[in-house]
Structure 1
Amino acid sequence: MQKSFLSAAAALLASTSIASADGVLNIYNWGNYTSPELIEQFTADTGIQVTITDFDSNDTALARVRQGGHGFDIVVPTHSYVQQWIAEGLLQPLDDAIVTDRGNIAPQWLNVDFDPGREYTVPWQWGTTGVIVNTSVYGGDINTADIFLHPPAELVGRINVIPEMSDVMAMTVYAVGGDNACTDDMEIWRQVRDTLMAAKPNWLALDYGTLDSYVAGDIAAGVYWNGASMRARLQNPDLAYGYPATGYPVWMDNAAVLADAQNTENAMIFINYILQPEHAAMLSNFARYANGITGSEAFMDEGMRTAPEIVIPEELVAAGRFSPACPQEIQDIRTQIWTGLLQ
């Protein structure tokens, strides 16, 4: 742990404002995504007690915070939503006096388009969205979106699709020949709509909490995140993660302090805490995603460095695309298609 952090933490914990916050911190994050080991260590180091509340989608998180009265201090939105959070005044700038270690952020993740100079956010985890397949059920090519859009007979009725609109829409746009997840080509969107509607009867569900079902073999394939896929494979070696050659989303989730946080200083201390390589590694070792913090690899589990869910095959690297935030008119089209799919 760096001396700069210890000094800042000691000074803040001794201050009147921290005492009035009762040493608590409330984090609003994706489910099953926060390392218990990290939280235990943070509390041991700072005395701050942490409560985690889960959300299951970016839209759910945004809607909840917009309502106010939530009591959360930190939120973890995906990159394509960050500008919306900022524009609506829902986040506050990071305190330079407390968040002193943004220099630990890897260069490619420091001056990002969605938060130039990292004024509001720091990396939490980053990864890809692809497909997961039980290879004891299906032995063909897994690097294809056909796994869920045009599934082979042995997978029909045994497919789950995560109900995360941006990821599913992007993968389908690429699969039907579009080269931009926010394309303004209406013919592409018609093909996306028709393809998804035709595919849905072949699926078992659109659900998030499916890791145990993959491990048990109750679900044989689906759209899934790379880290969750790795966690499943470690419990069932028949599971494999595929990168659709037509294109797949690359994303980054980011920690930010809410504008109406009740424990702002505690939140800033936590933000700086996860910028330390050994602490970022705790997040990765739990959730099985990369984290964007320089030097964290030295503290990661050995398996993280060679995992097929983390190390993208060289020939498929170029198919990964960092999805932008879509203009409102395109977002409306995607929402209309998505609403029809969920009915």
Structure 2
Amino acid sequence: MNWKITAAAVGAALLASTSLASAEGELQIYNWGNYTSPEMIKKFETENNVKVTITDYDSNDTALAKIRQGGHGFDMVVPSQNYIPIWIQEGLLLESRPDEMANFKNVKEDLKNPEFDPGRHYTVPWAMGTVGIVVNTDVYKGPINTWGIIFDTPAELKGKVNVVPEMTDVIDAAVLYNGGKKCTGDLEILKKVRDTLVKAKPDWVAMEYGTIQKMGSGDFAASSDWNGSAMRQRLANPAIHYAYPKEGFVMWSDNIAILKDAKNVDNAKLFLNFMMDPENAGMNSAFHRYANGIAGSEAFMPADMKGAMEIEVPEELKSIAVPSQTCAPEVQELYTKIWTELQK
């Protein structure tokens, strides 16, 4: 953003005392890898004369730890909805009031007042999806709609299964597989979860995020995964299929926010408003292949996303979908203990 100084006599001193001095020309976004449309970013840069830099992270915990340390230099971040209350409670996000911005009218009605950010005082929708399973059906011909692919791996897939190492996703899946409820504090269920994970791990080949590339290359034949990633895999190889586990699956959203210590606040606010425009949100979805929360964006998304089973949860499966939520601190601590043991 270019700013004109009209009062030359006081310009230098005034400019140095405001956020406008540090806002000019730059925007630093900290986001999940392979999740931001280069075309959409170029459009924002051209329209606003702002240079955008994207720095990748691989998990909610990585992003949160980095920002907690301070001195990071980022302006914006894209946490998942179950982590956003933590960011807000710890004072890491700026109350930027997206609800008062011009394009807020485009946010879908059922997303204007989410539990994780009441009234949308901090966040703007980025993407939304599900956690399920991808399988290369050239390798495995059996039923794939079960977390058993991951936790009781069929013989054909042993040594060929990957687990995307997002802690909450993995433990939630194991909880559902063992008949529990998300964010359970039931110690009996959590012991079963721990045992399930430890027993299953030797059958896995990896715990990595790079599923799009490695499912495509054949390094992995199955993986826990997110639906947009799964669609990108299927478009590259029709033998790769996504499944909603019959034991239940989590529905989630990621949302972009401004950091409390951002240096380029004005440009960050411009970007929040930009992302609530249907064309821009649709352009981003065309890249990452997830739905988003902006009404009218579908008109700007590829035709192959409309009705795609990865994008639209089948009606008959909606009853087993579990909304993502923030677990109680004591439950989160138990999850972390299980996760730490799994990493050994």
Tell me how far apart the structure 2 counterparts of residues 183 and 94 of structure 1 sit (CA, whole Å): 33
CA contact (8 A) 2:98 2:121 kept: no
Query: Equivalents in 2 of 1:176, 1:298: separation in Å?
Result: 41
Amino acid at match of 1:268: K
Q: Using a 3 Å threshold, how does the CA distance of structure 1 residues 195 and 20 change in structure 2: closer, same or farther?
A: closer
* Corresponding residue for residue 337 of structure 2: 336
8 Å Cα contact 1:98/1:268 also seen in 2: no
TM-score by length of 2: 0.93
Q: 2:81 aligns with which of 79, 92, 97?
A: 79
Which position in structure 2 is the counterpart of 1:240? 241
Counterpart Cα distance in 1 of 2:23 and 2:270 = 13
The runs of 4+ residues in structure 1 deviating greater than 6 Å are: none
Instruction: Supply the AA of the counterpart residue of 2:222.
Output: A
Question: For 1:80, what is the secondary structure of its paired residue?
Answer: coil
Asked whether the 8 Å contact 1:128–1:248 carries over to 2, the reply is yes
Q: Secondary structure at the match of 2:262?
A: coil
- 1:326 paired to 2:334: no
After TM superposition, give the deviation of residue 313 of structure 1 in Å. Answer: 2.1
Q: Percentage identity across aligned positions?
A: 52
Q: How does 1:171-182 map to 2 (within 5 A)?
A: 171-178=173-180, 180-182=181-183
Query: Residue 137 of structure 2 contacts residue 240 of structure 2 at CA under 8 Å; is this kept in 1?
Result: yes
Query: Which residue does the alignment assign to 1:259?
Result: 260
Whole-Å separation in 2 of the counterparts to 1:96 and 1:321: 27
Asked if the contact 2:98–2:123 (Cα under 8 Å) also holds between the matched residues in 1, the reply is no
CA distance in 2, matches of 1:73, 1:152: 45
Among 68, 71, 74, which residue is 1:69 paired with?
71
The residue that corresponds to 2:161 in the other structure is 159
Displacement of 1:19 in angstroms is 5.7
Q: In 1, are the aligned partners of 2:99 and 2:119 still within 8 Å (CA)? A: no
1:111-131 C-alpha deviation (Å, 9 max, x unpaired): 100000000001000000100
**For residues 241 and 298 of structure 2, what CA distance do their matches in structure 1 show?**
23
> What amino acid is the match of 1:247?
G
Label 1:13 to 1:305 Cα distance change in 2 as closer, same or farther (>3 A): farther
1:200 to 2:201 alignment: yes
Question: What's the CA shift string for 1:192-235, capped at 9, x where partnerless?
Answer: 00011111010001011231110111200010010011111111
Alignment match, 2:30: 28
Does the 8 Å contact 2:98/2:122 carry over to 1?
A: no
In structure 1, C-alpha distance between the alignment counterparts of 2:185 and 2:100, rounded to whole Å: 43
Q: Secondary structure at the match of 1:261?
A: coil
State the alpha-carbon separation in 2 of the partners of residues 95 and 19 from structure 1.
Answer: 22
Partner of 1:111: 113
Q: What runs of 5+ residues in structure 1 fail to find an aligned partner?
A: 1-8
Provide the C-alpha distance between the structure 2 equivalents of 1:95 and 1:265, rounded to a whole number of angstroms. Answer: 13
Matched, 1:305 2:310: no
Q: What CA distance in whole angstroms lies between the structure 1 residues aligned with 2:148 and 2:99?
A: 50
**How many residue pairs end up in the alignment?**
332
Instruction: Give secondary structure in 2 for the equivalent of 1:204.
Output: strand
Q: CA separation in 2, counterparts of 1:209 and 1:175?
A: 24
Q: Counterpart of 2:12?
A: none
CA contact 2:150–2:223 (8 Å) conserved in 1 = yes
AA paired with 2:186? D
TM superposition score normalised by structure 1: 0.94
Q: What is the rounded CA distance, in whole Å, between the counterparts of 2:98 and 2:167 in structure 1?
A: 35
Task: Decide which moves more: 312-321 or 194-203.
Answer: 312-321
Pairing partner for 1:39 from 33, 41, 51: 41
Corresponding position of 1:222:
223
Shift of 1:277: 0.3
Contact 1:150 1:199 in 2 (8 A): yes
| CA 83–20 in structure 1, closer or farther in 2 if over 3 Å, else same | closer
- For residues 98 and 184 of structure 2, what CA distance do their matches in structure 1 show? 38
User: Does the CA contact (< 8 Å) of 2:127 and 2:290 recur in 1?
Assistant: yes
Separation in 1, partners of 2:274, 2:69: 29
Runs of at least 5 residues in structure 2 that lack an aligned partner in the other structure: 6-14
Residue of structure 2 in register with 1:133 after alignment? 135
Contact 2:129 2:227 in 1 (8 A): yes
Residue-by-residue CA offset, 1:168-197 (whole Å, 9 max, x unaligned): 11111111011x211121110011000111
Specify the code of the residue in structure 2 equivalent to 1:219.
F
